[in-house]
Amino acid sequence: MDTLTHALSGALLARATAPAGTPRSTPRRVAAGFFAAAAPDLDFVIGFIGPVEYLLYHRGPTHSVLLAPLWAIPLAWLLSKLLREPGGWRAFYGVCLLVLLGHIAGDWITSFGTMVFSPLSDWRAGLGATFIIDLWFSGIILAGLAASAILYRSRVPAVLASALLVAYVGWQWTLKQEALEFAARHALERGLQDARIQAYPRPVSPFNWTVFASDAANHYVSHVNLRRDAVKTFEKGDGFVAMLDAPYRPLAQARWESVPRFGEGAEGALARAAFESPALGFFRWFAETPAFDGATPGSECVWFRDLRFVNPGRDWVPFRFGACRDAPGAPWRAFERLEGAGRRAAD
């Protein structure tokens, strides 16, 4: 979830749980919820250390349910000073802990994955029901906050908006099951034995999904809209949102693309060797749908991407990594693939 939505959701949770009969303290509580809910995303600074460190530790310790009770203490102390809370840090501790847990839940519902048991485990939990920037999700929060501002003496608008958010995510989860069933039917029709079936939410509409039926050699990918009955066309000037929405086709007119995991022939053997090398251990751990992203001509460099983050309508793809070696038999080194022909050492 994007940081602004996290912050707004913290404000909503703070208002929904504000004690009755203390209207003077409510603005301070809401402000504390806003800032505390954004705090876990300060781990973006890990990206300045290096791209691999970002993958390994983003949504790690600052997003841990085990560490949240500890993080809430310094946050409550700092915010009590900044907001001049008469009750001191103890007055803010409960709301800080609540919104930190709410932040973790907000990231858990997306597809990136969240290390909820860090530092004891690097397992990445992810419901994969909500796109990382969901305008409908954010809109429910904004509506709840606006109604709370108008009916400032009542918690009811914030409580109702919070309940609606839970219901909305639950509905999105049912849509994911529809997308998974569609992909499973395709795998059955193609005779793909033991195919791995996956579905990821996409932007603009909760009905937009990218589905996968993957075997050992290829990912079979389709971008679909679960309710659309006609193909949308996009023309220059239609706008950014329309550009993102148009590629998702009705189920009856779905197009499937075959994306190789490693390529073919000698190139495929080289790609498999690079992928299975110790240098790319971090990428194997992170990527859920790793796919071949090309080889640099005249070199021993092979590149990969995670199709989970490929969105039709956008050329930019994050988290592209590869491995290079000086000569056959030499050790592999990890690199991040930059735009164009650039690369950056990842080790």
Walk along the chain (347 residues) and give the pLDDT tens digit of each residue: 899 999 999 999 999 999 876 677 889 999 999 999 999 999 999 988 888 999 999 999 999 999 999 999 999 999 999 999 998 999 999 999 999 999 999 999 999 989 999 999 999 999 999 999 999 999 999 999 999 999 988 999 999 999 999 999 999 999 999 999 999 999 999 998 889 999 999 999 999 999 999 999 999 999 999 999 999 888 787 788 888 999 999 999 999 999 999 988 888 899 999 999 999 999 999 999 999 999 888 788 999 999 999 998 887 888 999 999 988 889 999 999 987 778 888 87
CA distance 24 to 306: 49
Report the candidate in 249, 255, 273, 253 with the shortest Cα–Cα distance to residue 263: 273
CA distance 289 to 194: 16
Cβ atoms within 10 Å of 222's Cβ, excluding its own: 21
CA distance 312 to 222: 10
Q: b or e along 139-148 (b: 16 or more beta carbons within 10 Å of the residue's beta carbon)?
A: ebbeebbebb
CA distance 331 to 269: 16
- In degrees rounded to 5, what are phi and psi of residue 274? -65, -45
Share in percent of the chain as helix, strand, coil (round to 5): 50, 15, 35
Judged by DSSP in three states, 61 sits in helix
Rg of the chain's alpha carbons, rounded to an integer?
23
